Amino acid sequence: MDDVVWMGLLYDFYSGLLTPKQQRVFGFYYLENLSLAEIAEEEGTTRQAVHDLLQRTEKLLADWESKLGLVTRYLRELDAVKEVEEAVRDLNRLRPLDERVAAGLNRVGAALNRLLSILELETEEE
């Protein structure tokens, strides 16, 4: 996984544990794609201070993930849901189905869609 995407996921899960300054600087760098110099100017500090703060913040986020594993768990759950969704799609392709089987697959599909929306994914409509 791309480092920027990974840092974004860590930020999504753990940003509430960061100080407002850490959140702001991290957001400038990773979310708004500002350079260290631009952030330093915005914050009224040096480029080196911004670099050091980002390094500490990245380490904090990585440490929290290594202890709590929320992002890793989320990604595993997402993969599992996608596998089940694909299996249901494969079963739905086996038409004609018995009405009871079709109704059961429709219920499973609806439950998967709810689960995917909880996991904040957009599902493809067939």
Asked, as a colleague might, if the bond just before 96 is cis with ω within 30 of 0, I would say yes
Overall pTM surpassing 0.85 (yes/no)? no
The CATH number assigned to the domain with range 3-68 reads 1.10.10.10
**In a structure prediction context, what are the per-residue pLDDT tens digits for the chain, which is 126 residues long?**
789 999 999 999 999 999 999 999 999 999 999 999 999 999 999 999 999 999 999 999 999 999 999 999 999 988 888 888 888 888 777 767 788 888 888 888 888 888 888 876 533 333
Question: How far lies 32's CA from each of 1, 8, 27, 125, in Å?
Answer: 20, 11, 6, 31
Tokens of 111: 């439950």
